[in-house]
Amino acid sequence: MKKRIISVFILVCILLVGCAKETDDAVNISTTTAVETPEVEETVTLTESEVVVTPEVELVLPLTENTTRKVQIQTVSGVTAYSYNSYIITSSNGESVVVDPNAMPSKDIVDINPAAIVSTHGHPDHIDSDYTDSYDCQKIFYTKDDINTEDFHIYTIYSSHSGDKISDDNVIIVFEVDGLRIAHMGDIGQSALTEDQLKELGEIDIAFMQFENSYSAMTLINQTGFNMIEQLNPKLVIPTHYTYKTIAVLEEKYGTITEVDNVLAISKEELPETPLTVYRIINKHKYR
């Protein structure tokens, strides 16, 4: 009986050891198969038709030459908020002056090479220090002065940016070139031109004039811009500070407005016969 018990005991031990071995092997296999294989990134090659190319913006730059044999007037500011303050005036021989530069294209984009740079006053929408510092030429910055270049006679007249008190840091600029007399009135904010100013201005063929500007207390209600331009009575008017509401009033007062893109070429002989004819030089330049 003892032998049978011992035999059974031995048999049970053998069975238990076998089960334990099988369990260990199962764990090892499970551990081995649980090891993750690192993912390999898939390289994707796009066809030509699938590649998206961002097109470069085509620049529209001011002209650096004048082939018209007329006086050439170009808008030049690079910002939409003040597109009509800044101009390049070029003689029929190709000499240029820049008036009231603002957000100008840098010299490495387009080299205007002005014979003079002039500014009516010191507000940032009428002067670009980086641009003016990049050129060594004659300059007038909102002070009383009188200069000559090869083709231009340029002089300034004191005015007021707001109200009727004439100041010594705000000017009207007169350009005499190829028989034309052109006045840039800047941001003049007077209720009327004085007799002295009218005498110094003389007969003006073309005038740049603002019609709406809160900084000059100039509105379509008080119509001070219209009053002054009618005092001056130039043949041709180019509006500067204004809104689309101004256009309707200009048309109502002075007739159909002529629009040109970027540049107006005109000679003394081509001036309109009717005074106060309005031209809009639409600024479509792109520098960036």
Residue 27 pLDDT > 60, yes or no?
A: no
Ramachandran region of residue 20, left (φ > 0), alpha (ψ -120 to 50) or beta? alpha
pLDDT at residue number 32? 37
pTM of the model: 0.81
* Residues of the chain above pLDDT 70, percent: 81
Strands (E), 186-266: 206-209, 236-239, 258-261, 263-266
Distance, in Å, from the CA atom of 156 to the CA atom of 200, rounded to the nearest integer, reads 9
Ramachandran region of residue 32, left (φ > 0), alpha (ψ -120 to 50) or beta? alpha
Residue 30 pLDDT > 50, yes or no?
A: no
Distance, in Å, from the CA atom of 225 to the CA atom of 217, rounded to the nearest integer, reads 10
The residue count for the chain: 288
Residue 275 pLDDT > 50, yes or no?
A: yes
* Residues of the chain above pLDDT 90, percent: 78
For 163, phi and psi rounded to 5 degrees? 85, 180
pLDDT at residue number 81? 86
* 229, 230, 231, 236: CA torsion to nearest 10: 60
Render pLDDT for 230-259 as a digit per residue (tens, 0 to 9). 999 999 999 999 999 999 999 999 999 999
What are the tokens at 41? 């990134």
pLDDT at residue number 60? 94
Distance of CA 42 to the CA centre of its chain: 46
pLDDT at residue number 288? 74
Amino acid in the structure at residue 204: I
Mean pLDDT for the chain overall: 87
Contact criterion met (CB below 8 Å) for 135 and 118: no
Contacts of 82 by beta carbon, 8 Å cutoff, 6+ apart: 102, 103, 125, 241
Q: So what CATH class is 71-282?
A: alpha beta
pLDDT band at residue 11 using 50, 70 and 90 as cut-offs:
very low
Q: Where are the domains of the chain?
A: 71-282
